Amino acid sequence: MFTKKAFTIEAQISQLKERGLIINNQDNAQHYLSHISYYRLGEYWFSMQEDKENHLFKPNSRFPDVIALYNFDRELRILLFDIIEKIEISLRTKLIYHLSHEFDAWWFQNFEIFIDSKALVKTLASLEEELERTKEVTIKNHFKKHKDDLRFPPSWKSLEQTSFGALSKLYGNLKNNVKSKDTIAIEFGAVNHTYLPSWLQSIAQIRNLCAHHSRLWNKNLPGAPKLLTKPPFAWVNDVPGQFQKLYVHLCIMKYLINIIQPENNFTNRLNDLFVKYPNVDPDALGMKPKWQDEELWKVT
């Protein structure tokens, strides 16, 4: 039975000090703990503990280093959210454009072109909820103007209301003989439909972590994206082997953003974070030594 009771902030600080975390008056621990919960910060000081059962800290563990890790992770999420936004808009654009031309504006309701009907039903149910909830004038006007049309609004209206996760599921669920599936993969430098679905699932998962302010630093991520053996565009020579670490997912994002926005500043912004927070161990993200020198990351 769980018996722990809530601690006051003063008691939290006292307990951390007793366990060996160095907290000085100028560290503003009370201020930080009044705005960032003890439990959330615990995800960052956990790695500083040498006895994780009794929560005892390693020598010279300092509260400002905990805050630095927290701030690094927060700024990393903001950076990745910005990169993923560009990938999401590009994917949405390509799905709408290519499939509306190959089929029609309601291709996303066409069960004949999808593999898993049950999965499509779930995606459409989620989309219907979004459309009912939205306050977008274009959607409201569409329903008002076309009362007798029981279909969803056309894809260029409907799919603007759906999530990256739903878009990635729509793409992955397309039958492999749908021409647009390969066309989109080729335009993203993924050669064919074999690889891109796992890339999009990976990015959608990270986007959700960013959106819910979840920790990315030192996190083991589920799933393993399929990697091309000979990508048509700049890639890394030292291929990431730790699929659970963030680095391989960062490489995929960089590969895509180099196509979507060739003159991007992803490399500099990511490197600047490590410079700003020198106490952050890049290995916690699975970063390779001299990752900035890889051909993929040199592209600007």
- Each residue of 151-182: pLDDT tens digit? 889 999 999 999 999 999 999 999 999 999 99
pLDDT tens per residue, range 226-245: 998 889 999 998 777 777 89
Long-range contacts (CB closer than 8 Å, 24 or more residues apart) made by 239-246? 240/286, 240/288, 242/286, 244/220, 244/286, 245/220, 245/221, 245/285, 245/286, 246/206, 246/216, 246/219, 246/221, 246/285, 246/286
**Which burial class, exposed, middle or buried, applies to 1 when counting CB atoms under 10 A from its CB (0-12, 13-18, 19+)?**
exposed
Range of the domain at 223: 71-298
* Residue 229, in any domain of the structure: yes
Q: Are residues 115 and 53 in the same domain?
A: no
150 or 114, greater pLDDT: 114
Q: Are residues 87 and 178 in the same domain?
A: yes
* Residue 66, in any domain of the structure: no
* Residue 138, in any domain of the structure: yes
115 or 242, greater pLDDT: 115
pLDDT tens per residue, range 24-37: 999 999 999 999 99
* Residue 1, in any domain of the structure: no
Q: Are residues 269 and 289 in the same domain?
A: yes
* Residue 231, in any domain of the structure: yes
Long-range contacts (CB closer than 8 Å, 24 or more residues apart) made by 3-10? 7/38, 9/33, 9/34
Q: Are residues 180 and 36 in the same domain?
A: no
Looking at the structure of the chain, the number of domains it has is 2
Q: Are residues 174 and 270 in the same domain?
A: yes
Q: Are residues 103 and 37 in the same domain?
A: no
* Residue 76, in any domain of the structure: yes
Q: Are residues 22 and 150 in the same domain?
A: no
